[in-house]
Amino acid sequence: MRAEVNVYIVRIKQSIELLRRHLDWDKALARLEELNRAAEDPDLWNNPEQAQAKMQERMRLENAIQTCKTLQSEMDDHVDMIAMGEAEGDSDIVAESEAALADLQSRAERMEVETLLSGEADSNDVYLEVHAGAGGTESQDWASMLLRMYLRWAEKKGYKATIIEQTDGEEAGIKSATIEINGHNAYGWAKTESGVHRLVRISPFDSNARRHTSFASVWCYPVVDDTIAVDVAESDVRIDTFRASGAGGQHVNTTDSAVRITHLETNIVVQCQNQRSQHKNRATAWAMLRARLYELELQKREAEAMANAEQKTEIGWGHQIRSYVLQPYQMVKDLRTGVESGNPSAVLDGALDPFMEAALAQRVNGEAGSDNVASEDLA
């Protein structure tokens, strides 16, 4: 059997093992058996809402378990066909089976990513915030580059992206911006982007053409849909109104239409200014606050489930996760997973899926990635 074929087999086995580990295989089988028994209970639909939730869970588990079984079965079949072809000297059978294994490996990788996007809120839309770090114009320009990168990524994924809030810099770039990205699994994909992003380049704002390092932070949290209840009392928040800045027309800039809500207990701050109506901006800001509080709860649950303290720090966004170097060489490197790209232009144009896939896989693998994370906080 050729070495290349052995590589296909090893990678397919790795995908199967990752999927099984993500499912917690034995518990998943036991839970599916329990749900199958529940489906046969004639009293199940006395509570339609609970019944529907159980049937959805049953379907999800059935699909995930069947995916693993199908991958294993097809791999075994192709390996047997290769062995038979080699024994009989039939090169056509060997070639066809090797090609089928290559296709199966690609399919296994796609299934792997799809299964990784099965968290509680992964299928939700996402709010994505970008904030410039210290450094004035340099960092503000970098923040605007990141904003464009995520808008382009959303476009490539076929998602809809809407700018909810944007505060422009004094000379160039932005101080902050919030976008809402709508599409299936938008939060599942984007959630690993939270963190500090570092840029190294020859500054276009430095007359001496010196190399500068800039920082900006990204924060992602799921849009809360109607199935998720997050109760927040008005007494728990402070609401401020102010005049919107940036584009939006004369009316926006001359009335107190923008809304900022501060959650007093957690000090979470959200704001919206993209609508001319203060009422609409207030409604959007409330939705953003509920989403932030829900995401905070998800973080707590994930922290409790993690195996060691190093991984717990990975949840926070106060750590550098990715470095973008434009000079003296060209390289984008994710400091958690080690994934690299020698084409920063493509990455800044939205080619982010390889980084996202690796970060998602690392979460499931349970590998402590925090040892590779630089501890440079956003100043």
What is the count of structural domains for the chain?
3
Rounded distance between C-alpha atoms, residue 208 and residue 219, angstroms = 33
Under 8 Å between Cβ of 67 and 114: no
Could you tell me the CA-to-CA distances from 41 to 29, 35, 44 in Å, in that order? 19, 10, 5
Phi, psi (degrees; rounded to nearest 5) at 165? -150, 140
Q: How does pLDDT run across 52-77, given as a tens digit for each residue?
A: 888 988 988 898 899 899 999 999 99
**Comparing 290 with 329, which gets the higher pLDDT?**
329
Domain enclosing residue 240, as ranges: 234-302
Average pLDDT over residues 339-354: 96
Query: For residue 376, what pLDDT is reported?
Result: 37
Q: Above pLDDT 90, what percent of the chain?
A: 45
228 inside domain: no
Rounded distance between C-alpha atoms, residue 334 and residue 366, angstroms = 17
Neighbours of 228 (CB within 10 A): 15
Choose the final residue of a domain: 243, 272, 302.
302
Q: How does pLDDT run across 179-227, given as a tens digit for each residue?
A: 999 998 899 999 999 999 999 999 888 778 788 899 999 999 888 765 5
Model-wide pTM > 0.85: no
Under 8 Å between Cβ of 104 and 8: yes
Query: For residue 69, what pLDDT is reported?
Result: 94
Both 202 and 240 in one domain: the answer is no
Query: For residue 303, what pLDDT is reported?
Result: 65
Q: For the chain, first and last CA: distance in Å?
A: 55
Choose the final residue of a domain: 72, 93, 116.
116
Please report which confidence band the pLDDT of residue 49 belongs to, taking 50, 70 and 90 as the band edges: confident
Choose the final residue of a domain: 302, 326, 348.
302
Both 341 and 365 in one domain: the answer is yes
Query: For residue 135, what pLDDT is reported?
Result: 77
Under 8 Å between Cβ of 243 and 253: yes
Least confident of 216-220, 338-342, 370-374: 370-374
Average pLDDT, the chain: 83
**Comparing 76 with 48, which gets the higher pLDDT?**
76
In this predicted structure, the answer to whether residue 309 has a pLDDT above a threshold of 80 is: no
Query: For residue 316, what pLDDT is reported?
Result: 33
Both 217 and 333 in one domain: the answer is yes
Question: Where residue 277 sits, what CATH number does that domain have?
Answer: 3.30.160.20
Q: How does pLDDT run across 135-156, given as a tens digit for each residue?
A: 788 999 999 999 999 999 999 9
Q: How does pLDDT run across 231-276, given as a tens digit for each residue?
A: 788 888 898 888 776 554 444 455 678 889 899 888 889 988 878 8
36 inside domain: yes
Please report which confidence band the pLDDT of residue 122 belongs to, taking 50, 70 and 90 as the band edges: confident
Please report which confidence band the pLDDT of residue 103 belongs to, taking 50, 70 and 90 as the band edges: very high
Q: What is the DSSP string of 18-76?
A: HHHHHHTHHHHHHHHHHHHHHHT-TTGGGSHHHHHHHHHHHHHHHHHHHHHHHHHHHHH
Average pLDDT over residues 95-107: 92
Rounded distance between C-alpha atoms, residue 12 and residue 4, angstroms = 13
241 inside domain: yes
Question: Where residue 330 sits, what CATH number does that domain have?
Answer: 3.30.70.1660
Both 202 and 329 in one domain: the answer is yes
Query: For residue 179, what pLDDT is reported?
Result: 95
Both 102 and 206 in one domain: the answer is no
41 Rama sector, left if φ>0, alpha if ψ -120 to 50, beta otherwise: beta
Could you tell me the CA-to-CA distances from 115 to 14, 108, 152, 215, 304 in Å, in that order? 14, 10, 25, 33, 22
